Structure 1
Amino acid sequence: MSDIHESIQRYEGWLRAQLGDDIIEKDLVRKRAKMAKTAFVFLRATYWRWAETILAVCPDLADAPPVLAIGDTHLENFGTWRDAEGRLVWGANDFDDAAVMPWPLDLVRLAASALLAGGESAEDICDALWDGYLAGLARPHPLILEREHRWLRREMMLPEKERADWWRKLAPGGKARKAGAAAPERFHAALAAALPVAASGSELPIFARTAGTGSLGKPRYTAQIAWLGGPVVREVKTILPSAWAVFGPGSDATIRAGTIAHAETRAVDPHYRVEDGLVVRRLSPNSRKIEVKDAGAVLMSAEMLRLMGREIATCHAGDALRRDAVRADAAQRTSGWLRGHARAAAKAVKHDYKAFA
């Protein structure tokens, strides 16, 4: 297993080769600063390292049936959006590293993230995730926050003051806006096509934006317009082949984010699409996630963890060609299989984090 510093150099070299002049070097500096904060943030920022090492840490999982998986699962990779019917939906919301891989890895990474974020009981965390996953495999369906799960709807809906703050950050001079060079033409074109009214790229008020952790370094641009009496916001960012194919044992570099996001088992945001190496999505105060620093206790509650496990299963079940093999393998596993793997994965991440920080 290579040294973490060598691994970082390899990853950043690959990123520069992929992005060329589009790379945001200042964001790579920000990323390294974030990586030094906590082991949980380090995990979030280094999916490529996970792809490099996880089958050395958990070698027995290499032979588990493959499935089109999320890849970069963690506690903060779940949020809300509005589907085509206007319903508030909760679920996984970042598929940039989706790839075909052994199905248990999404659960192991999520459980490890909970341990790294301060969870004290691997047994409680893993058992809740596993219960939810089995329920999701048996009956895969999206989580609609209209009549059920009112407690989660209350957690996800922003109070009026926070909604006002959200829009203020996107206003001219707001914290979400980043000074920088003009967006390349393909970003202009993608944003113009995503908005509800026709507009040429030169007419759009487009600004660069810094967000996320693992995606830092990749260009990201946002356009905001007024339409029918209110603001509308779209974002576009670069997407590259999954680190599983580049740094891990995967061999297929096909970008699969759009495939898993639009699986028949999910109620997707109709404004989310992946094409030509770009991800386009709607930004809204209705599309948000809970962060560990704000509500770690909520994220690590047994009820929330069960829902996360269920959502992972719902995503996996969208792979119709492989889901029967996953169900058969899951049925043969004892209830405690996840605990040891989560502990081993968290320990490996802590080792790398300490060597880096």
Structure 2
Amino acid sequence: MTFEEASQSYEEWLSHHTVLLKDDLVLKHKLFSDNSFIFFRATFYRWVQLWKEFCPELNAMPVVLAVGDLHLENFGTWRDIEGRLIWGINDFDEAYPLPFTNDLLRLCVSAYLAIDEHGLKISYKDTCTAIVKGYYDGLTKGGKPFVLEEENFFLRKIAVRKLKEPSKFWDKLEELDDISKIISKNIIKDILYSLPKGVVEYRISHRVSGLGSLGHQRYVVMGHWHGGYVGREAKAIIPSACAWANGKKTVKHVYYAEIVEKAVRCPDPYLQLKGNWLLRRKSPSCSRVELADFPKKRDEKKLLYAMGFETANIHLGSSLPQIKKVIAVLNELPMDFLHPYAIKMLKQVKKDWKASMKE
């Protein structure tokens, strides 16, 4: 199946599981041409097809409840119930039972792309080693959330860059068109449900964001509450693209809530699933960390190690027998064992990216 055929098939499958926004889908395809990293982020459905074909050995590895669409920009911050700033994986739209190697390999390939296109200053092999070492240590130590208070100052430096000018965050949301009067009343009810009582002068807008989920319904509400802005986002939740790749025509089960609840994690108290919607708080301290947010002076190995460790935090939500199997496998492999597979997948991603620009 060519990339074009895969895209058409997947979007047809999607249309049976959610309302697709055609203008956003058109934008998504236009963004493909920007660079291969953006293309990679936006096409997890294609990854699921290709890695089965090109990495059969990795597909035979022990299965865990995995993130699925893991990459360098699938990390962010939020506040826990005590108000502490937490860093970690913050998007589980594609969560699904997969070999543990899927998440690690995809994270490695995303880093390789960032090395090629975004100036990540580290070698391919060192990247792979740092991620797998962090993952192995996370599993064997039982995991530990990344609380950005007394520890993890290097991650806090990355996170606080967005906290310095909160007005810019709210100004950007205020620029969006208010669609409160034309949006479905049922959607309004679900979104307002998550706001604190007493919010006034609220406005609801359609938010164009993300890449993999671009084309799905996504709305943001902001309003005034006790002297400042508060915000919430509602995003339509659909089954993982893995179900499509496995030939399942109609799927209802979504693993989002399960993977978050079982992981070693300081949860976001405002993250909740209500019907077909994922509701979460929007604020300068609750957002995705992009490559552009990384400080110029940083320790690449330390950052990638932390990402590997956080991946282990998520996988530790799987059964203990499965985790023991994963550790046993890793005990027999070098820390850079994923490198040749990452190179193979890197070539396939770039091949598809170039093909997408000819369409």
If the length of structure 1 is used for normalisation, what is the TM-score?
A: 0.91
Match of 1:190 in 2: 190
What is the DSSP-based 3-state SS (H/G/I as helix, E as strand, rest coil) of the residue aligned with 2:182? coil
User: Aligned-pair distance for 1:338?
Assistant: 1.1
Please say which of residues 265-274 and 159-168 is displaced more in the overlay.
Answer: 159-168
Cα gap change, 1:177/1:113 in structure 2, threshold over 3 Å: closer, same or farther? farther
Aligned residues: 349
CA distance in 1, matches of 2:71, 2:133: 17
If the length of structure 2 is used for normalisation, what is the TM-score?
A: 0.90
**Contact 1:156–1:289 (CA under 8 A) maintained in structure 2:** no
Match of 2:269 in 1: 270
CA distance in 1, matches of 2:84, 2:145: 11
CA distance in 1, matches of 2:8, 2:178: 26
Mind listing any 5+ residue stretches in structure 2 that lack a counterpart? 117-121
**Contact 2:162–2:285 (CA under 8 A) maintained in structure 1:** no
Match of 1:111 in 2: 108
- After superposition, give the CA deviation of every residue in 1:314-343 in whole Å (9 maximum; x if it has no partner): 100012353222222222222221111111
User: Aligned-pair distance for 1:180?
Assistant: 9.3
**Contact 1:101–1:250 (CA under 8 A) maintained in structure 2:** no
What is the DSSP-based 3-state SS (H/G/I as helix, E as strand, rest coil) of the residue aligned with 2:165? helix
Match of 2:288 in 1: 289
Residue 129 in structure 1 maps to residue 126 in structure 2? no
What is the DSSP-based 3-state SS (H/G/I as helix, E as strand, rest coil) of the residue aligned with 1:225? strand
User: Aligned-pair distance for 1:182?
Assistant: 2.8
**Contact 1:68–1:101 (CA under 8 A) maintained in structure 2:** yes
User: Aligned-pair distance for 1:177?
Assistant: 4.3
Mind listing any 5+ residue stretches in structure 1 that lack a counterpart? none
Match of 1:32 in 2: 29
Cα gap change, 1:331/1:254 in structure 2, threshold over 3 Å: closer, same or farther? farther
Please report the RMSD computed on the Cα atoms of aligned residues, expressed in angstroms: 2.4
Cα gap change, 1:177/1:169 in structure 2, threshold over 3 Å: closer, same or farther? farther
**Contact 2:131–2:309 (CA under 8 A) maintained in structure 1:** yes
User: Aligned-pair distance for 1:297?
Assistant: 6.0
Please say which of residues 99-108 and 319-328 is displaced more in the overlay.
Answer: 319-328
Match of 1:96 in 2: 93
Please say which of residues 324-333 and 291-300 is displaced more in the overlay.
Answer: 291-300
Counterparts of residues 52-71 of structure 1 (less than 5 Å): 52-71=49-68
The partner residue of 1:150 within 146, 150, 153 is 153
Match of 1:335 in 2: 335
Residue 255 in structure 1 maps to residue 254 in structure 2? yes
Please say which of residues 96-105 and 297-306 is displaced more in the overlay.
Answer: 297-306
CA distance in 2, matches of 1:268, 1:218: 25
The partner residue of 2:203 within 198, 205, 217 is 205
Cα gap change, 1:97/1:106 in structure 2, threshold over 3 Å: closer, same or farther? same
Cα gap change, 1:127/1:227 in structure 2, threshold over 3 Å: closer, same or farther? same
Please say which of residues 135-144 and 256-265 is displaced more in the overlay.
Answer: 256-265
Cα gap change, 1:52/1:325 in structure 2, threshold over 3 Å: closer, same or farther? same
What is the DSSP-based 3-state SS (H/G/I as helix, E as strand, rest coil) of the residue aligned with 1:73? coil
The partner residue of 2:219 within 218, 221, 230 is 221
Residue 80 in structure 1 maps to residue 83 in structure 2? no
User: Aligned-pair distance for 1:54?
Assistant: 0.9
User: Aligned-pair distance for 1:275?
Assistant: 3.4
